[in-house]
Amino acid sequence: MPREGIDQERSDGRKDTQDMGERRQLKIGTLTIEHPYVLAPMAGVTDLPFRLLCKEQGAGLLCMEMVSAKALQYKNRNTKALLSIHPEEYPVSLQLFGSEPEVISEQAKAIEELPFQILDINMGCPVPKVVKNGEGSALMKQPRLVHEIVSRTVKAIRKPVTVKIRKGFDDTCVNAVEIARIIEDAGAAAVAVHGRTREQYYSGQADWDIIRQVKEAVRIPVIGNGDVTCVQDALRMMEETGCDGVMIGRGARGNPWIFRELKSYDETGQIPPRPDIREIREMMLRHARLQVEYKGEYTGIREMRSHVSWYTRGLRGSARLREEINQVETYGELEAFLHERLV
């Protein structure tokens, strides 16, 4: 679909006078989020260190990595680490996935005293092993089950419940509007819509018109998701769909600065300069130190390899750098490597 409908940036980087000083807010239940720009939940990406960096840059709401309700039920040791929340993250959304209403609602109640502000239910994950279990985006094919999961969870806890969905399961099952209405009827406080079907995964272009259709069909806040990689994308999405908030996933990987830019644009009408090599390098090292602090050097540095690839995407020599980063095993090695390669 064409995406030309919003005013273009002025040459001086400022927005038109009619938009100056405009402060957008997102309200979910009784929670007011100062900036309507949301870090999407991404497995292996939106862990505690990265969420802290995005919060510092101005993200309005942080979404944690999705957590299996069944794993919580069985007290899986690896799952406990996913529940770590820092006081500086406020507000933060904890996302559960599963397919059994009783398990999801009971586990939501069991963890409600953790310091998260929103409980989100994943109905959009396209990963085969999740879908095979009837979880994630497979729930798009089960409207009655969707209602039961959401209504039971809403009744089980006091905190607001939200749901993340997709356009549909495939081209024969494009039912985001129907599912969103069901979610609203079941008592959810907001719905996030990714503009692709499960079969698309992340290929092709996100269909923002389905976000518009959902927004026109429900009264609860609608958060748009898909193909937002810069300030202009976020503004176009809000203009074209009327959505109340914008969720940013892949566009934030290696790019926590996107939230700084969005916050600055809303507050001043100006977009700050993109980070230079030195700032990118220092952000990576800060990220790595947080990884080591919360996960230990062995795990933290190995996980950092993917983040370095994202941070350096598009830089000169980045392809070779991505190959060489896999040899780095300690923070000291990473620091020396980045100071040598990024100058």
Cβ(144)–Cβ(104) below 8 Å: no
Cα gap 305→266, rounded to integer Å: 33
Other CB atoms within a 10 A radius of the CB of residue 83 amount to: 15
Look up 54 and say whether it is catalytic: no
The one catalytic residue among 54, 63, 125, 243: 125
Cα gap 5→243, rounded to integer Å: 15
Which residues are paired to 32 by β-bridges?
Answer: 27
Long-range contacts: 204-213, Cβ < 8 Å, 24+?
205/1, 207/1, 207/167, 208/1, 208/3, 208/237, 208/240, 208/241, 209/1, 209/240, 209/241, 210/167, 210/174, 210/176, 210/177, 211/237, 211/241, 211/243, 212/240, 212/241, 212/242, 212/243, 213/176, 213/177
Q: Which is it for the CA torsion 167, 196, 211, 120, positive or negative?
A: positive
3-state DSSP assignment of residue 227: coil
- Token digits for 109? 């109640």
Pairing relationship of beta strands 245-248 and 118-123 according to DSSP bridges: unpaired
Q: Which is it for the CA torsion 332, 333, 335, 340, positive or negative?
A: positive
Q: Catalogue the active-site residues.
A: 125
